[in-house]
Structure 1
Amino acid sequence: MAIQTLAEPYLAQVPTPTPTPTTSYVVSFDVEEHNRIEAASGLNVSPQRQREYSTRMASVTLRLLDQLAAAGVQATFYVVGDIAITRPELVRAIHAAGHEIGSHSWDHSRVHRFDPKSFRTDLLRSKDALEQVTGERVYGFRAPTFSVDRKTAWAVDVLAECGFEYDSSIFPIRHDRYGIPDAPQTPFVAVGRERELLELPPLTYRVLGMNLPVAGGGYFRLFPPAVMRAGLRQATGLAMLYFHPWEFDADQPRLPLGFLSRWRTYVGVRRTTERLTHLLAGYPFRRAIDAVREMQTETLPRFSVSDDVQAV
């Protein structure tokens, strides 16, 4: 692959790094049914197939809980709020295992589909549903498809207004669907139009003058493990990783996607479980909220998400 070829000279013989004591390693999962992914937007998925995806999502998530328990790792699960209604037992199982529950919106709609008022309604609906099931406050949010960017800078204000303590939606990369490439790679205070919020960006690796996305998802499935290890080695302050339960279900029915979307979605799904096992064994992973509790926000960089001002 083109990006892999560019990176290879810098990654050859990269050893598994010794975890840095000053860096918090966070592993997170974005929990939604497979038919809710952005690539499937607009597809006509039958009710029967939707039920099948829901069942598979629940069973794979429970298997991931066993895998995390075997490794002695606590993680953060950003859960679509609707799942608290359709499968409350799954949300309770995640919470009972000691993992953090965060919001991943109500039904996995990108922030670009809202205005501030409707986004506030969506956030509060999701937050309340998850809190009702767990009996614990929801502190964190991750937007579907990392859709907090320059065009949706107002989302920072709404998230703060709704009582979220941190966000993990701004990917400091250049991508056709998301990202703010000049945003900090390390935790920062995101400045909206009127309010501020702690931001935990997904992991990137600075190489050849650009930020290479190495945090998980398709990048975890596509790149060799040495690429993520290089990013983890370089990380300072925080290394935020993310995955989806459907990425660990190689036998799930395939969605009828176009060539590029199909490749992005299914490349490498048969090797994810083994890769995750090795990854969990190599780093002292923790929940995002635990890392947040130790951060001193007054020492973090401040970055304006708005179009008009880039940094403060």
Structure 2
Amino acid sequence: MRKPNMQDAANMLTFDIEEWFHANYEGLAMDGGGKDSHFRANMETLLGMCRDTGSKATFFVLGCIGEQYPDVVRQIAREGHDVASHGYGHELAYKQSFEAFHDDVKKSVDILQNLTGKPVLGYRAPSWSIVERNLHYLEALETLGLKYDASIFPVRTFLYGIPDAPTHIHKPRVGGRELDLYEVPMSVMNVAGRNIGYSGGFYFRFFPRFVIKRAIRAANARGAESIVYLHPREIDPTEHKLELPPKERFIHYYNVGGTRSKLENLLRSFRFTSIADHLQRHFDLER
């Protein structure tokens, strides 16, 4: 079993649950081409790692994944994890109208709630696609009764990010009004005056283990928490791969072979819980 860190702070573990072909690069069709994926095996690996280390997580599940793998979604909930929405078909939120976004999230929420028998409390946009120009889309989540959003990455990249967004959990303001839901932004570290991610996706695969652990310890030492996020495909170097241009291929697949052991080491080094559990414990979230 894991050893708690020096302050036994509750960091948050999250997974974006989608197939190997779900991506949002320009001109890319999200179609698996009939190939058999390793999805079930990778999900069992992730759930097994959580069991072995006593970790709880938030699984942001696509609605179409719920339709294709209902037994997997039920198992996630049965093992005490937080099942949240990742939308229905991995469409970029800022390419949808407000109404289409609302309907997309609602469709996914309905599917997941019917599968688990429990309310869906949270949402994360595919590819962090809540940005400045569609920040008001958070109002749709409030209308749907969701309690938290985890879609904002306080960085600037060519794909996503709101670099000046708050880096702490807060209730966002839209149109001068505070929304009745929490924003749980992705973790960043400040390097030369610039926010950089360190604990999820490409950043998790890029930075050495000691850098990530040092950043988590620094956050915990100042009373903050870190959020880890990964996709099932990122723990499996043998999974099918998309044909991508060099830059996108580097971002999407760099060091996939080292992700599983790095994640397992972190889960044994720190205490991790789900977003819903963290908000219930430290804020006034009602489940």
SS of aligned partner of 1:230 = helix
- Corresponding residue number in structure 2 for 1:285: 272
Q: Tell me if 1:274 matches 2:284.
A: no
- Corresponding residue number in structure 2 for 1:159: 141
The amino acid of 1:224's aligned partner reads: P
**Deviation, structure 1 residue 233:** 2.0
SS of aligned partner of 2:94 = helix
**Deviation, structure 1 residue 64:** 1.0
- Corresponding residue number in structure 1 for 2:10: 24
Structure 1 residues 174-183 or 225-234, which shifts more? 225-234
Q: Tell me if 1:227 matches 2:211.
A: yes
Question: Could you give the per-residue CA deviations for residues 89-109 of structure 1, whole angstroms, max 9, x where no partner exists?
Answer: 110111111111000000111
The two structures have a TM-score, normalised by structure 1, of 0.84
Choose the corresponding residue for 1:176, options 158, 174, 189: 158
Question: Would the aligned equivalents of 1:187 and 1:201 in 2 still touch at CA under 8 Å?
Answer: yes
- Corresponding residue number in structure 2 for 1:110: 92
The amino acid of 1:191's aligned partner reads: R
- Corresponding residue number in structure 2 for 1:254: 241
Q: Tell me if 1:191 matches 2:173.
A: yes
Question: Would the aligned equivalents of 1:73 and 1:285 in 2 still touch at CA under 8 Å?
Answer: yes
**Deviation, structure 1 residue 126:** 0.3
Question: Could you give the per-residue CA deviations for residues 116-145 of structure 1, whole angstroms, max 9, x where no partner exists?
Answer: 111111111000000000000000100001
SS of aligned partner of 1:38 = coil
The two structures have a TM-score, normalised by structure 2, of 0.91
- Corresponding residue number in structure 2 for 1:217: 201
Matches within 5 A, 1:131-150: 131-150=113-132
The amino acid of 1:220's aligned partner reads: F
- Corresponding residue number in structure 1 for 2:282: 295
Runs of 4+ in 1 over 3 A off after TM superposition: 16-21, 43-47
- Corresponding residue number in structure 1 for 2:64: 82
CA RMSD of aligned residues (A): 2.0
Question: Would the aligned equivalents of 2:21 and 2:30 in 1 still touch at CA under 8 Å?
Answer: no
The alpha-carbon distance between structure 1 residues 63 and 269, as it changes in their structure 2 partners (threshold 3 A), is same
Unaligned runs of 5+ in 2: none
In structure 2, C-alpha distance between the alignment counterparts of 1:19 and 1:189, rounded to whole Å: 29
The alpha-carbon distance between structure 1 residues 129 and 227, as it changes in their structure 2 partners (threshold 3 A), is same
In structure 2, C-alpha distance between the alignment counterparts of 1:70 and 1:274, rounded to whole Å: 14
Q: Tell me if 1:126 matches 2:112.
A: no
Choose the corresponding residue for 1:47, options 17, 30, 33: 33
Q: Percent identity?
A: 30
The alpha-carbon distance between structure 1 residues 215 and 44, as it changes in their structure 2 partners (threshold 3 A), is closer
